[in-house]
Amino acid sequence: MEIKEAQFVMSNTEVDKCPAPNKPEYAFIGRSNVGKSSLINMLTNKKSLAKISGKPGKTRLINHFLINKEWYLVDLPGYGYAQVPKNERLKWERMLKNYILKRENLYCLFVLIDSRHEAQKADLDFMEWLGISEIPFNIIFTKTDKLKPTELESNLKAYEQKMFETWETMPGYFISSSAKETGKEDILNFIESVNRGE
């Protein structure tokens, strides 16, 4: 699949105000500063579709983009330890869980993980909640260009071992680098195959 058109539709904080659920939807989420905006911009061939910031917690809304007039790409706020007041963080968490549980046309949630770090409790807890809630998701390991191939392989094996403490099988995952456009074709082909019902 090639993304020829990516159009901003709306930003909001309430699932009831999202676009009509009449098209497949794919949402991207991860801890603050995981490289989410860079990945979205890389996938869509747009340098500034999603706002990039060095400051954690920049995305605070549910942002909808219409792709090729066929499906929605959704940029969700990050979770974890963004430098925001606790009451605001709790409000984000409620908004996210509301969206994830109630959005009937959410075909897949992509959980972004920084490939350079060992498994983080916030990510593991979040994915466990997704599993319990029966939400379809895939992992995207980001920033892989910053590791040597042997380091990446070692980190992925360690991550799998950690996941197998809770999971019987490893969820589907992609390897990505926004800088080198690694994983772009695989991720877009996966979305296309799901859209086709394959």
> Where residue 36 sits, what CATH number does that domain have?
3.40.50.300
**Domain total of the chain:** 1
- pLDDT of res. 51: 66
Q: What is the three-class DSSP state of 188?
A: helix
Is the pLDDT score of 110 beyond 80? Answer: yes
Q: What is the mean pLDDT of the chain?
A: 90
Contacts of 91 (CB under 8 A, 6+ apart): none
Domain assignment present for residue 133? The answer is yes
Residue ranges making up the domain that contains 156 = 6-195
Q: Is residue 185 a part of any domain in this protein? A: yes
Q: Is 1 among the domain residues?
A: no
- For the ranges 66-80, 98-112, 143-157, the lowest mean pLDDT is seen at 66-80
Q: Which residues pair with 29 in a beta bridge?
A: 111
Across 9-18, 53-62, 105-114, 143-152, least confident range: 53-62
**pLDDT value of residue 191:** 97
